[in-house]
Every structure is written in C-alpha cells, then in structure tokens.
Chains A and B, each alone.
Chain A
Amino acid sequence: MFSGFMVNAWLIATIVAFVAGVVGFFVVLRGSAFQAHAIPNGAFAGAAGASLIGVNPLIGLGVFSLGAALSIGRLSRRGRSDVVTALALIMMLALGAAFISQSTEYEPQIFSLLFGEILGVSTSQLLPVIVLGLVCVLAVSVLYRRLLLTSIAPEIAASRGLHPARIETIFLIIIACSTTMTVPVVGAFLIFALMIGPPAAARCFSNRPEVALALSVVIALVTVWASLASSYTTNWPVGFFVGAISAGWFALGKVYATWSRSRAEQRR
C-alpha cells in the first residue's frame, strides 16, 4: 500500500486533507455549504471538456471552477435567487455529460471525476497540485483574522474598513482553487462532504477558533487516510468512504456536543 505509485497517492491525499480542513473550516463558518457543493459540480464540465480536447483536466477544472465561483459571487450579490444558480449548475453538469459522451472511454472517466479515484493525480500533475494546495492554505492563513471577523460580524468588519465583499470574492476564489486540486482524488460530488463534515465535527469539540481549525485538519487527515486505505483494500470508490466517514464524524460531533451540554447543565 505504501510503495511505488501509491506514494503519490498518499502525498496528494495528505495535501487534499489539509486544504479541505482549512478551507472547510471557513465554509462551515460562513454558511457557504451551497457554494462548496455547487462549485465542484460546475468544475466537472471543465474537466470533461478539457480531457475531450486533449488538454490537462486540471486546467479545465481550474477554469470552470473559477468561472463558477465568480459567477456565483456576482449572482448572489445581486440578490438573484438559488433558482438561477441551480439551473446554471445543472447546465454545467449536462455539458459535462455531453462532453463525456463524445469520448470513447466515458464510463470510467465520469465515475472517477464524480466519485473520486485514488490515482486521480498523475506524477506529472503532482507539482501543480502541491503548489495549488500550498497557495490555498497560505491564502487562508494570511487572511485568517479578516476571514474570522467578516464571517462572524460583517457589519463590524465593514466599519473597520475590512471590505467584507472583497473578502467574500477572494474566499470564493480560494474555494475554486481548492476544488481544482481535490476533485481528482475525492470526486466532484463528494469533496464538499470532506469540506463540511470534519469542520462541523471539529467545532463541536472545541470552542476556540485556532483549536477548531487544527482539529478540522486532523479529522480531515484521518478521514482521507482511512478512505484511501479502505479504497485500496476493497477497490471500492474513495468517495464512498469519504461520504460515510464524514457523516460519521458529524454524528460524533453532535453526540459529543449534546453530552457536554448536559454535563455542563448538571454542574450548575
């Protein structure tokens, strides 16, 4: 499990977990679950289209997820409803389906793009993926305090000149970048489970933001490693394990939160 081509897989999986844990922390904080769900779905068409014309799918992923992120940002700022966003996304998915139908190898390709693939990243793509991952983590780290305040109290942030609208756009771009590098491994349909399960659980375990962030990364790491190992052993898709384990962590967090709340009430 740890030799040869699997080394790449473990490396990428670790970075994916880091990025998902860090970015996901703010996705949950800002209530951006819909965007985290929508942007990868849009990116799917990009990957399909790119591989159809023989271009590196990562580029297709990147372009389409960026486009999806920016349009969602503009649409929601203009007060447009979820209807138009949902329709636009379904259109992207349909486009992806059309692209894929044109290639001869469509079944495995759809499957791995949507549900994940251990070896989703080839050696040649290793460097760009690592770089993208580092950029995402770095961006969140640099903007950490601004992200915190604009997420929790945008009015106060605005009064201090912190431009919540600008931060929102930047954050959507960060989601797009993280989508680009995580979709090949976890799948366009399941990456958002990794971005909301571990952080949602982490914040049940700690009431301090830095600790919750660290826990979010740790839980994501455990999730991804377990998914990778299980997928390698059973040959079942990575996405299945990611979805199931993320749900498990979420439930665990809820149970813990209820338990510690009742314990605190007993003490009073």
Chain B
Amino acid sequence: MNTLPVLEVNGVSVTISGRKILDDVSFVVQQGEFTGLIGSNGVGKTTLLRAILGLQRLDAGEIRVNGEPLTARGRSLGYVPQRVLLDPDVPMRARDFVALGLDAHRYGFARRTKEQRALVEQMLHDVDAERFANARVGSLSGGEQQRVLIAHALISQPTLLLLDEPLANLDPRSVQEIVSLLHRVAKEHHVGVLLSAHEMNALLPVMDCIVYLTNGRAASGTTDEVVRSEVLSALYGHHVDVLKLHGRVLVVAEPGQDDSDIPQHETFTVN
C-alpha cells in the first residue's frame, strides 16, 4: 500500500526580523499518526504551524501535504486554533458551527441535505458533543469548545489535523479527555494529527511521534528515540538530564544553566 506521508516538512528555515526562528527543521507525519510538537512558549511552534498552513514564507526548505505543495492545500487540511469565540451573544449553535465546516466555502444560504445533516450528527457524536449541540458556541467551556472546533475541522474529512496549543487553557480532566479524543480520531478516521504543546506529559500515553523544538532546531522520532539525555542535550547545546518516573518525564538542566527554554512541566499529579 502506498503510504504517502500526510505531512512532509523538509529542511524548513524561517527568519523573522533578523532572528532565525526555525533552522533546518525536518519531520514527517504519517496517516493515522499522532504527533506532538513540543516546545516552550515563543520557541517557534506557532511559526511552524503557520508555515504549514501557508501563512508564513519559508526562507529555505519545503512543505508538502499529501505530497502536494502548499498551494493546493484547501480541504485536505483541518485546522483547530486555540480558542475561537468568547462572545456568548453570537447567535450560532455548536451544531451550526460544525455544519459550517462542511460548506463554508460555498455561496449562498445553506441548503443542507439529509445526508449532510446526518453527517453533522455523526461528527457531534464522535467528539462527544451531543449534549451541548444546541448551545451557543460562545457560551461553551474551553473543553467543550475544543470538541466543537475539532468536529468542525474533521467534518470535511481532511487527511491532516493541525491543532495550535489545544490543551493550554484546559483543566487537567479536560486535557485527558481531549487527548484521548484526538487519539481516537487519529486511529478511527485515519487522520494525521499534529498538535503543539508546551508540556508533553499529558501526551506521552498516546503520542506516536514527537517533534521536540528548541532554539529553532528540532529532533523528531518516537518518544523513546527523542526524549533522551544525549539527544536533548545536543539540541539545547548544554547538558540536560531526562528523568522518567511512573510514566512521566522530567527534563532538568544543571544548576547554573539557563533553563528558561525547557518546556515547563506540570508538577506531578496523581490520577
């Protein structure tokens, strides 16, 4: 079977205002794979995502989605920004927003067929959003809105799902729910999932691959391959220790070393 990678990032470099944000970054996401883009805030995760979306010019390298260069991305790419709507006055139900994912590009008023409406129902069911399907999008909690955004992105049946810090403002329970939802989505819908986060522990149980970004450089591979002292030390340019305890990971710099570029991890929470 031809396994064309859903996303190919090849030697990508981006310089903004004289600063090299991304430096020769390369990795691949396969269909049905769950990949975490891990890095502390300001390290370039958003820049990389914007580049994949075609909103950021590349100084070097290329990006391909389903083997095609970026111009033809259109509907093969689903995007979930961090949070969309804070205004509960906006007259749009979760259900309407998900339906918009199907045909926002079409002209005129929506005349949706029975099949399309059934598809919306299916999506709402898949992301576990049925109980608030008729509530206004702006009145949903962070976790609830994430589900709706995911359904909106998923309904057009993309091969790649891109999420920008979806877990950032969620409570720990919602984090767990969204992570397992995304894992399910990746496997059941055969979608490549790439999400950015500044903390990797929540993703460890489900991540197939990790792209660890710091100082503009990236190391990619499975967690076992990447999250090791030697690899991360080379990436940071100074020695770091990687401690694994009870299935959780802690990256620690030596005292005296600047550790501001190490993604801040949550303190251990016992489930």
Contacts and interface: CB of A to CB of B under 8 A. Distances in A.
B108 A141 contact: yes
Interface in B256-270: none
Contact of B97 (A142, A143, A152): A152
B90 A152 contact: yes
Best-surrounded residue of A143, A149, A207, A208 (most CB of chain B within 10 A) = A207
Interface in B151-173: 152-153, 162
B64 interface: no
B85 to A, nearest CB: 6
A185 to B, nearest CB: 27
A204 interface: yes
A208 B96 contact: yes
B93 A145 contact: no
Given A156-B84, A209-B91, A149 B73 contact: no
Contacts of B55: 158-159
A212 B136 CA distance: 13
B79 A143 contact: no
A162 B105 contact: yes
B156 to A, nearest CB: 8
A259 interface: no
Contacts of B73: 161
B85 A152 contact: yes
Given A141-B109, A207-B136, A157 B104 contact: yes
B141 interface: no
B148 to A, nearest CB: 11
A152 B91 contact: no
A148 B104 contact: yes
Interface residues of B, number: 35
Interface string B223-248: 00000000000000000000000000
Contacts of A257: 89
Interface string A201-214: 01110111111100
Interface string B77-121: 101110011000111110011001001111111100000000000
B53 interface: yes
A145 B105 CA distance: 7
A254 B166 CA distance: 33
A209 B90 CA distance: 8
A209 B100 CA distance: 11
A82 interface: no
Given A141-B108, A143-B107, A144-B108, A156 B152 contact: yes
Nearest to B82: A155
B251 to A, nearest CB: 30
Interface in A204-240: 204, 206-212
Contacts of B91: 202-203, 206-209, 211-212
B100 A207 contact: no
Contacts of A155: 79, 81, 84
B107 A160 contact: no
A87 interface: no
A29 interface: yes
Contacts of B136: 207
A138 to B, nearest CB: 10
A245 B19 CA distance: 56
A149 B109 contact: no
A212 B96 CA distance: 13
B193 to A, nearest CB: 15
Nearest to B73: A161
B255 interface: no
B134 interface: yes
A159 B79 contact: yes
| Closest 3 pairs (CB-CB, A-B) | A159-B79, A212-B91, A203-B91
23 contacts: A143-B107, A145-B100, A145-B106, A145-B108, A145-B110, A146-B105, A148-B104, A149-B104, A152-B85, A152-B97, A152-B137, A156-B80, A156-B149, A159-B79, A160-B75, A161-B73, A162-B105, A207-B135, A208-B93, A208-B96, A209-B92, A210-B110, A211-B91
Given A144-B107, A144-B110, A153-B85, 13 more contacts: A143-B107, A145-B104, A148-B92, A152-B90, A155-B79, A156-B79, A156-B81, A202-B91, A203-B89, A209-B91, A210-B109, A210-B110, A212-B91
Interface of B: 53, 55, 73-75, 77, 79-81, 84-85, 89-93, 96-97, 100, 103-110, 134-137, 149, 152-153, 162
